[in-house]
Amino acid sequence: MSSRVRTLILLGVAALLAACTATPEAIAPPPPPRDELTAGAIEHILAGEHRSTENRARDAYRHPLDTLLFFGIKPEMTVVEVWPGAGGWYTEILAPLLAERGKLYAAQFAPAPDNPFVAANRASFAAKLATSPDIYGKVEVTELGAGSYEIAPPGSADMVVTFRNVHNWMNLQIAPEAFAAMYRALKPGGILGVEEHRGGADRAQDPLAASGYVNEQYAIKLIEAAGFTLVARSEINANPADTKDYPQGVWTLPPDYRLGNRERAKYQAIGESDRLR
């Protein structure tokens, strides 16, 4: 693989997982055999007492074991998780996996004193890290957004991952800056793993992604513009029951249920969104 390559991996179920490179000719080889040592470590973490019953219930939709193995994560890697959110759902898996031999940067929302949502999310995530110093004590928090785009030292990361955030950056009109920051953080040969709510291929893409859905080809072009080239996709998180045409966009579905109890059983039966990765 070319020394200039940065790979992008796209995932399904409302997510996009793909591997991209800086040079079109440098296409990644077929995926290696299943890494049983890493799989065992992740399985042990998934069963850990530090995970709530609520978070474990979402494993059925998010498939964290298969997702992380598809990205090619290893316990000795330096990894950046971009916008882990208030709860840090993936942080509670990544932090213990990387604590002994690797490194985890959590690129959180940049401070926005006039934005209660951002302030609350930053405070909740900081509180989560503080609850278990033995698990989260080595996590280094950085920032992305509002002019802050150094998510890790340049060229230091083996992997950057982000889960269901592309629509947010499109809505804030910072997607080019966000993916450029990820490219800078990665080592040559590094991997970008992306999961996103997958929009219908037969529908025009809203540039602001107000529904929360992003068409797969639109996402690929957006990311490739930062210098990446797609090398792998997965349907691990695909959900063909997701019709993608709800009153409150993707947030109509679980776990948000923005319509409250209105037709809740219907949306519960659909499950979480169809994702590309």
Percentage of the chain exceeding pLDDT 70? 89
Encoded tokens for 233: 């996709």
Alpha-carbon distance of 142 to 152, in angstroms, equals 7
| Count of CA atoms in the C-beta half-sphere (13 A) of 104 | 29
Please name the residues in contact with 190: beta carbons below 8 A apart, sequence gap of 6 or more. Answer: 6, 7, 157, 158, 159, 160
Q: Which CATH superfamily is domain 7-276 in?
A: Vaccinia Virus protein VP39 (3.40.50.150)
Sequence spans of domains, the chain:
7-276
H-helix or E-strand containing 62? helix 59-62
pLDDT band at 229 (very low <50, low <70, confident <90, very high): confident
* Phi, psi (rounded to 5 degrees) for 161: -130, 150
Greater confidence, 231 or 258?
Answer: 258
pLDDT in tens, 116-157: 999 999 999 999 999 999 999 999 999 999 999 999 999 999
Exposure of 232 by Cβ count < 10 A (0-12 exposed, 13-18 middle, 19+ buried)?
buried
User: In whole angstroms, how far apart are CA 169 and each of 72, 176, 209, 228, 246?
Assistant: 25, 8, 9, 17, 21
Q: What rounded mean pLDDT belongs to the chain?
A: 90
pLDDT band at 230 (very low <50, low <70, confident <90, very high): confident
Residue 92 has pLDDT above 90, yes or no: yes
> What's the whole-model pTM score?
0.91
- Rg of the chain over Cα atoms, rounded to whole angstroms, equals 18
Instruction: Please tell me the predicted confidence (pLDDT) of residue 17.
Output: 41
162: β partners: 194
Instruction: Please tell me the predicted confidence (pLDDT) of residue 149.
Output: 97
pLDDT in tens, 12-29: 433 344 444 444 344 445
pLDDT in tens, 146-204: 999 999 999 999 999 999 999 999 999 999 999 999 999 999 889 999 999 999 999 99
- Note the maximum CA span of the chain: 53
